Amino acid sequence: MPLTQILSRIFVVFFIVAFLVFIDPVLAVIITTTLGGSYLAIYFLFQSRLAKLGDERFAANVIRSKVVTEVFGAIKELKVLNRERAFFDVFSANAYKIENNMATSNLISNLPSYIMECLTFGGILIIVLYFLLVKQSLGNTLPVIALYAFSGYRLMPALQGIFSAVTLLRFNVAVVNSLQESLSGVADVPNEWKTSEVIALPFERKIQLSSVFFAYPSAEFPVIQNLSLTIEKNQSIGLMGPTGAGKSTLVDLILGLLSPEKGSFTVDGTPVTPGNKLMWQRNIGFVPQSVFLSDDSLAANIALGVTREDIDYRAVEIAAKIANLHDFVITELPEGYETVIGERGIRLSGGQRQRIGIARALYHDPPVLVMDEATSALDGITEEAVIQAIRNLAGRKTIITIAHRLTTLKDCDVIFVIDKGRIVESGTYEELRGGSAIFKAMAKSDVQGLKDAL
């Protein structure tokens, strides 16, 4: 916007000046140099100040937004600890800085217009006096004065417009730079978004990871190291291992959210690449470690991202039944599936949220179901019921389950024990129970035993 404003105003200025040059070149030079020169001078006086104000505002805005997100994310802890004050102070200080800097930049961009008005009309007075005193005749000079006054009157707003647009640009340089940095290297909207239907990548035989390495950009050491894993279609596999072992990272690789640095990830022999990962993801239902809920109806949460008119209520109900959620919805929620569950599901318990997550993953009836600690917030009886329901899907779906509670994995065809980004053991529940020291230690929550075993 400032750029278009600058362009259009330059156009106006150009014609006024050309007209003045045509009528009276000397007058034209005087007017343009005084007005233009003054604006230039003011700009150079303030430009570094403006850039600094803009930088500060940008930095303060980042902090302000961060504080807001964090406070809402940790509201309960903050209230219990009575630590709201510190966040409030950071928020206020930064909010004040933002408003203050914006006010100052506004002042800088508007102030010259008043000074220039004085200058222009003071100039008219001086000319009138000059002609009166020196030339002793006003009659001949009236047209010149009128011309001067009129061109000043037209020129000033145009120059002021250019000036305020330039100050606005200068003030927002930090924002523009940051945007440009964030957007560079980002591709256009993926083509797949434009077409509503992505065809699922064929998956008939197996998912295979071979010698996969992965390191997070910020980390020195790879989180996943030389890991190879084959999952046959319709197999149920379990992933277990100590916290921080790399289980969620491994699952993110399988989900196509991360790409291996080295090694390959194939489905039926087809490498999963950034180009076809959306097709692969069509096959997957995923229940994350913490389920996000939006401030919408229960049905809309189960069919996340599906427009209201397109929600398939039958599928919602089937998914809710498997997740052991249906009875709760029918008996306890006043409006059933239409009940709005509040921002981030604040009106629900942890276990209810997790079951919504499971129902969401099952809504599209995907051939692959990936669960990261999906049943950890459920009480024993509800967990058993959910596992029972998911067990009924076994043999019809490929199921990948991460669990800390080993009984959750009892029915898996194979359990992989992960530690420090490697598979250290694998086998069925019974096999591992017999022979694995890690397994025994974890089953007994025996910390020293686990350390010894690892």
- 176/439 Cα distance (integer angstroms): 54
Question: Which residue of 244, 274, 342, 434 would you call a contact of ligand ATP, by CB under 6 A?
Answer: 244
Contact 13, 5 (CB under 8 A): no
* 4: partner contacted, choices Mg ion, ligand ATP, none (Cβ within 5-8 A by kind): none
Region of 245-253, 258-266, 357-365, 406-414 interacting with ligand ATP (CB under 6 A): 245-253
Q: Which one, 252 or 317, has the nearer CB to ligand ATP?
A: 252
Task: Return the range that interacts with Mg ion (CB under 5 A); candidates 101-109, 136-144, 246-254, 409-417.
Answer: 246-254
Query: Strands 422-427 and 206-214: what pairing?
Result: unpaired
* Run of H or E including 329: helix 326-332
Radius of gyration in angstroms for the set of CA atoms belonging to the chain, rounded to a whole number:
34
Nearer to ligand ATP, 196 or 243 (CB): 243
List Cβ neighbours of 407 (8 Å cut-off, separation of 6 or more).
Answer: none
Angle, in degrees to the nearest 10, between helices 2-23 and 142-171: 160
Q: Are 256 and 281 in contact (CB under 8 A)?
A: yes
Query: Number of C-alpha atoms within 13 angstroms, CB side, residue 9?
Result: 20
Minimum distance between the CB of residue 251 and ligand ATP, rounded to whole angstroms?
Answer: 8
Given the complex with ligand ATP, which of 219 and 381 has the nearer CB atom? 219
Stretch that binds Mg ion, among 6-14, 39-47, 125-133, 241-249 (CB under 5 A): 241-249
- The partner in contact with residue 400, picked from Mg ion, ligand ATP, none with C-beta cut-offs of 5 to 8 angstroms by kind, is none
Q: Is 216 in the site for ligand ATP (CB under 6 A)?
A: yes
Q: Which CB sits closer to ligand ATP, 96 or 216?
A: 216
List the one residue from 38, 248, 264, 428 that touches Mg ion (CB under 5 A): 248
Q: DSSP readout, 49-118?
A: HHHHHHHHHHHHHHHHHHHHHHHHHTHHHHHHHT-HHHHHHHHHHHHHHHHHHHHHHHHHHHHHHHHHHH
Q: State the number of binding residues for Mg ion (CB under 5 A).
A: 1
Min dist. Cβ of residue 36 to ligand ATP (A): 54
Residue 216 binding partner per list ligand ATP, Mg ion, none, with a CB distance cut-off of 5 to 8 Å that depends on partner kind: ligand ATP
Q: How far is the CB of 405 from ligand ATP (least distance, A)?
A: 12
- Minimum CB distance to ligand ATP, residue 106 (Å): 40
Contact 35, 154 (CB under 8 A): no
| Cα distance between residue 266 and residue 298, in whole Å | 36
Residue with smaller CB distance to Mg ion, 248 or 266: 248
Report if residue 223 touches ligand ATP, rule: CB under 6 A.
Answer: yes
- Token reading at 67: 């504080």
Could you give the dihedral angle defined by the CA atoms of residues 355, 360, 361 and 365, in that order, rounded to the nearest 10 degrees?
120
Segment interacting with ligand ATP (CB under 6 A) among 53-61, 117-125, 243-251, 253-261 = 243-251
Q: Of 136, 140, 243, 445, which lies in the binding site for ligand ATP, with binding defined by CB under 6 A?
A: 243
Complex with Mg ion: residue 141 or 248, whichever CB lies closer: 248
* Tokens standing for residue 184: 């560079």
User: Cα 121 to chain center, whole Å?
Assistant: 53
Which partner from the list ligand ATP, Mg ion, none does 190 bind, CB cut-off 5 to 8 Å by kind? none
Chosen residue from 6, 174, 207, 245 binding ligand ATP by CB under 6 A: 245
List interacting residues with ligand ATP (CB under 6 A). 216, 218-219, 223, 243-249
List interacting residues with Mg ion (CB under 5 A). 248
